[in-house]
Amino acid sequence: MRKVLLAALVIALMPLSAFSAAEKKRVWIAYKEGGRSVAEAALKNSAAEIHYDMRQRNAVVATLPSKAIENLSRKSKIEFIEDDVKRYPMAEVSPYGIAMVQANLVDDNLAGNRTVCIIDSGYDLNHEDLPTTTVSGTDDPGTGSWATDESGHGTHVAGTIAAVANNNKGVVGVMPNGTVGLHIIKVFGASGWAYSSSLVAALDACEASGANVVSMSLGGSFKSRSEDRAFAAADGRGVLSIAAAGNDGNTRKSYPASYSSVVSVAAIDSNKALADFSQRNDQVELSGPGVAVKSTVPMGTGSDVQTSVAGASYEALAMDGSAQGSASGALVDCGTAEGVCAASQSVCLIERGVISFADKVLNCQAGGGVAAIIYNNEAGALSGTLGGVATTIPSVGVTDTDGAAMLSALGAASSVVVQTGNYSIYDGTSMATPHVSAVAALVWSHHENCDNQAIRNALIATAEDLGDAGRDTSYGYGLVQASDAVNYLSTNGCDGGGGGGGGGGGGPQQCELLPKGASCTSDADCCSNSCKGKRDAKTCK
């Protein structure tokens, strides 16, 4: 035993030259009381590179040869040695809608066989988080280059469809590996609107580009016979057109969404509740995430928002018109901030209600507050505007539940950052539409032999039923589900009857039977041809 200990001591005290060719590792060395001198001697004799000397933690972080680590670990005064493991920035996020539509469950490696045509306000071809090599476009007279986007709307839509994954930046889209084809038609210029003829010309350009899916986060209240005919003809030639149901929050129909040849998309929030602005009518066919959707906008035109309380980070939305800046301080409860809040060098926590957001921020500011966090008084995220009122402190909105959590941490260190960024959070059926368009293309990429009607029918048959059982005027058939639709076609074939080939034929009328989740009595009741469950509680599967 003595010889073994002596040998170990000799190895631990060997000069650097003996270890020059040995593998080195960066490790934490934690020592017991009285063990510091043991660690120091071993580190000195192995010529270790010391990164941190953490005396208060009885630890040293160093890089040294593996053999020296092995020998040091045998010392009785050494508590443990472990790798100094790596940590990576968590800069890239997956917006909530990606999982809600099951895009995270479907591989998009085949997406290169599909092309989505986006008719909108353009595309920031220089964006750090968007594809460049699989993108083409057509310039529309009077709107400028398709590769620029003055309003940001089209770039936001594109990000939901195809923002790139694994680049440690921004967000991810429904099809994030950068292979899906995108064709961009810019119909919105400085005026912010376009004619129906411009839309039809754009549709023609989409077809000419070989597009399979046309995504339109746009619309208007008046129908056009010429436009209706154009979309019906494109539908007959195999193009799947998808459009926003509208944001007026009433039962009025919007076009092109309400043509029978076009899929009309409603907006829901992260709790799968219908957005209050979403149109409700008998043409609504499918639903998608459309409230507080984070996506790409032209470089430098978005906002980067960071909010933390007591070391915990919270999702927050910058108040529209908020001052930019970074501020930190103890968290102070200002109630509804109807008067000046005593918040010297503190962060104001404010409940929504009674007075305007601008007045709340001003009352925080007047009391010496350095930043304002306003929490919702009803379920969901809080997106507010200061209405052009000038303030000097950063201000953000958070959910009611996050506000409640913050109330339990009053006095804790808090921080708010609002600064220029490359991403923004938008609301609208415009945001719901690209979720559905991208899912359609993703599903289609796995069943390339199916036609547009088969894909449409599969999305209908597998939608997650929301609201009233079966199709309703708020959610249509329900929330689009990518994985379920892929599996449905694998099981039932393109014709929905297990035949496995050819086209779907017949459009959505094939699924006027009950959709997934609806109560049923037999298989014949269901689009999926599968009615299962207990005798008195069967549903379409």
For residue 274, what is the domain's CATH number?
Answer: 3.40.50.200
Would 354 be classed as within a structural domain?
A: yes
CB-count exposure of residue 167 (10 Å: 0-12, 13-18, 19+): middle
Amino acid found at 4: V
User: Quick one: CA dihedral 125, 129, 134, 137, positive or negative?
Assistant: negative
Would 348 be classed as within a structural domain?
A: yes
**pLDDT per residue as tens digits for the range 37-56:** 999 999 999 999 999 898 88
Would 240 be classed as within a structural domain?
A: yes
Domain shared by 183 and 134, yes or no: yes
Domain shared by 306 and 398, yes or no: yes
Collapsing DSSP to helix, strand or coil, 312 comes out as: strand
Backbone phi, then psi, for 485, in 5-degree steps? -70, -40
Would 435 be classed as within a structural domain?
A: no
Q: Which residues fall within 8 angstroms of residue 308, CB to CB, at 6 or more apart?
A: 314, 414, 415
Domain shared by 178 and 311, yes or no: no
Residues catalogued as catalytic: 120, 153, 313
CATH number at residue 400: 3.50.30.30
Decide which of 35, 63, 83 is a domain's last residue.
Answer: 83
Domain shared by 177 and 230, yes or no: yes
What is the reported pLDDT for 536? 64
Domain shared by 492 and 382, yes or no: no
Distance, in Å, from the CA atom of 346 to the CA atom of 330, rounded to the nearest integer, reads: 5
Closest by CA to 507, choosing from 521, 491, 527, is: 527
Distance, in Å, from the CA atom of 341 to the CA atom of 329, rounded to the nearest integer, reads: 15
- Name the strand (E) or helix (H) holding 400: helix 400-407
Torsion angle of the four alpha carbons 226, 241, 163, 399, in this order, in degrees rounded to the nearest 10: 90
The one-digit pLDDT tens for each residue of the chain (541 residues) are 333 333 332 333 333 333 344 588 899 899 999 999 999 999 999 999 999 898 888 999 999 999 999 999 999 999 999 888 654 444 577 899 999 999 999 999 999 999 999 999 999 999 999 999 999 999 877 888 999 999 999 999 999 999 999 998 999 999 999 999 999 999 987 677 788 999 999 999 999 999 999 999 999 999 999 999 999 999 999 999 999 999 999 999 999 999 999 999 999 999 999 999 999 999 999 999 999 899 999 999 988 888 999 988 898 989 988 999 999 999 999 999 999 999 999 999 999 998 999 999 999 999 999 999 999 998 888 888 998 899 999 999 999 999 999 999 999 999 999 989 999 888 999 999 999 999 999 999 999 999 999 999 999 999 999 999 999 999 999 999 999 999 999 999 998 876 444 444 333 444 556 666 677 777 666 766 677 776 666 777 6
Domain shared by 343 and 409, yes or no: yes
Domain shared by 384 and 370, yes or no: yes
Decide which of 83, 103, 132 is a domain's last residue.
Answer: 83
Domain shared by 141 and 234, yes or no: yes
What is the reported pLDDT for 192? 77
Decide which of 296, 319, 335 is a domain's last residue.
Answer: 296
Would 251 be classed as within a structural domain?
A: yes
What is the reported pLDDT for 535? 63
Distance, in Å, from the CA atom of 130 to the CA atom of 170, rounded to the nearest integer, reads: 10
What is the reported pLDDT for 57? 84
Domain shared by 194 and 273, yes or no: yes
Distance, in Å, from the CA atom of 298 to the CA atom of 167, rounded to the nearest integer, reads: 18
Amino acid found at 358: A
DSSP string for residues in 40-85: HHHHHHTT-EEEEEEGGGTEEEEEEEHHHHHHHTT-TTEEEEEE--
Domain shared by 264 and 322, yes or no: no
Would 387 be classed as within a structural domain?
A: yes
CA distances from 67 to 144, 193, 347 (A): 66, 71, 52
What is the reported pLDDT for 295? 95
Collapsing DSSP to helix, strand or coil, 204 comes out as: helix
Strand partners, 60: 29, 53
Range of the domain at 391: 302-421
Closest by CA to 101, choosing from 184, 182, 179, 172, is: 172
Domain shared by 417 and 490, yes or no: no
DSSP 8-state secondary structure symbol assigned to residue 132: S
CATH number at residue 64: 3.30.70.80
Amino acid found at 283: Q
Cβ(364)–Cβ(374) under 8 Å? no
Strand partners, 425: 294
pTM here is 0.72
Distance, in Å, from the CA atom of 485 to the CA atom of 440, rounded to the nearest integer, reads: 9
What is the reported pLDDT for 430? 96
Domain shared by 316 and 252, yes or no: no
**pLDDT per residue as tens digits for the range 247-292:** 999 999 999 999 999 999 999 999 999 999 999 999 999 999 999 8
Q: What is the number of structural domains in the chain?
A: 4
Would 442 be classed as within a structural domain?
A: no
Torsion angle of the four alpha carbons 224, 228, 229, 235, in this order, in degrees rounded to the nearest 10: 160
DSSP string for residues in 276-331: TTS--STTEEEEEE-SSEEEE-STTSEEEEEEEETTEEE--EEPBTPPPEEEEEEE
Closest by CA to 477, choosing from 488, 465, 467, is: 465
Would 30 be classed as within a structural domain?
A: yes
What is the reported pLDDT for 83? 84
Distance, in Å, from the CA atom of 248 to the CA atom of 275, rounded to the nearest integer, reads: 11
Closest by CA to 95, choosing from 431, 472, 494, is: 431
